Amino acid sequence: MDHDQASVIQLLMDDRIQAWVKQPTPELDRYWKERLREHPDEQPAVERARRVLKRLSFEKSEHIDREGMLQRALAQAEGASRPASPRIWSNWYRVAAVLVGALLVAAAYWYTLPATQTHTTTYGESEHVVLPDGSTVVLNANSTLRYPKVWDQQHPRTVSLTGEAFFSVTHQANGQKFIVQTDQVTIEVLGTEFNVNHRRGETEVVLQTGSIRLDRASDDAQSQVDNLVVVPGELVRLSKTQGAPERRVVNPQVYSAWTQDRWLFENTPLSEIFTMIEDNYGYQIVAKQADIADEVFTAELENANLDLLLNFLSESFGLQITKDHRQLIVNRKATRR
């Protein structure tokens, strides 16, 4: 009895069990199988025990003054005698000077520094941003998000976006609105989840949950978008050429999968996939045969990775995809499988 219980405790404490459950590898698999062979009856007990222990919790405060602590921390740091800011500035300029065109970005950033927070992503990069009200934004590649550093309760919460982002907006008790501004349209929400894709002079909004209202941006006199209420599962597309928006029902997961580093394609034409690659990775795609772009693709990829995607596309459709500087040249292979 004593030996058995000691061994159960040992098994319970084994780091490798935790690792095995989280991230199985062949080595851990073998190790765990060995241990189980020594104590065949114990796995269920250990599993249940671990699950009970994982439910152990404790009294926690609900109310944490996050903003207050952050502001006081920064105030305390700035008040210190060490001149931290100039060092950050000079390092930023050094980094920015290396990137093409980034000098302009840096200048804009520092000009707006006192009041505005800016997040910019480059090709192939995405970023998670937490806003002062707890809302989260996943910013896709080649995109910029801007918002004032200080938010109060009286005015609507406002952010401005170029590119693509997925918003998860917190609901405020006082009904304070949340506004996303692009130079084409203004999106007003109360608390909800939606994807905004504003590229190539077009804006595409897909609503996942909640409800949003679209209005034309103040400087777009030709737009016919006025007080347009969108419902979950709906996609609204505004193009630069047509004033009237296009609306249809879609599976919102397809449009927000990228936020989890996943790609979800459902009968998606390759033309759309190529556009996505161009927008997010900065390549120019040249399809040698016109009918390539009409092929449809259905797949679910986790751990999104461009080379992997190109691999699967070439395997699935018998294509040869070659990189030539910033171009991707797509050719049908001579013999199909």
Partner 1 sequence: MTRAKSRPVLFWKCCMNSKATFSFFAPPDATVEADDLRHWNKFRRGDAASFTIIYYHHIDALYHYGERLTADKALIEDCLQDLFAELWTRQMDLPEVQTVKFYLFKALKRKINRGRDQQAKFLSEAAAEHDFALTLASETEGDDWQLSPGQAAALLKAVNQLSPRQKEAITLRFYDNFSYNEIAEIMALSDRSVYNLMYRALAVLRQTVDVGTCQQVLLVLLLVQ
Which H/E stretch holds residue 119?
strand 116-120
Please pick, from the candidates 183, 202, 215, 295, the single residue that binds partner 1 as defined by CB under 8 A. 295
| Calculated CA dihedral for residues 204, 209, 214, 219, nearest 10 degrees | -60
By CB atoms closer than 10 A (0-12, 13-18, 19+), residue 238 is buried
**Which positions from 171 to 210 touch partner 1 by CB under 8 A, shown as an x/- string?**
----------------------------------------
User: In terms of CB distance, is 131 or 230 closer to partner 1?
Assistant: 131
**Which positions from 231 to 270 touch partner 1 by CB under 8 A, shown as an x/- string?**
------------------------------x-----x---
> What is the per-residue burial (b if ≥16 Cβ within 10 Å, else e) of 102-120?
beeebeebeeeeeeebebb
User: In terms of CB distance, is 137 or 205 closer to partner 1?
Assistant: 137
Q: 78 is written with which tokens?
A: 């700035």
**What does the angle CA 184 – CA 189 – CA 194 come to, to the nearest 5 degrees?**
75
Beta bridge partners of 44: none
**Which positions from 47 to 76 touch partner 1 by CB under 8 A, shown as an x/- string?**
-xxxxxxxxxxxxxx--xxx--xx-xxx-x
- State the minimum distance, in angstroms, from the CB of residue 187 to partner 1: 22
Stretch that binds partner 1, among 125-133, 192-200, 209-217, 219-227 (CB under 8 A): 125-133
301 binds partner 1 (CB under 8 A): yes
Q: 222 is written with which tokens?
A: 């030709």
By CB atoms closer than 10 A (0-12, 13-18, 19+), residue 235 is buried
104 binds partner 1 (CB under 8 A): no
User: In terms of CB distance, is 46 or 207 closer to partner 1?
Assistant: 46
**Which positions from 267 to 286 touch partner 1 by CB under 8 A, shown as an x/- string?**
x-------------------
Stretch that binds partner 1, among 5-13, 162-170, 209-217, 243-251 (CB under 8 A): 5-13
State the Cα–Cα distance between residues 175 and 84, nearest whole angstrom: 39
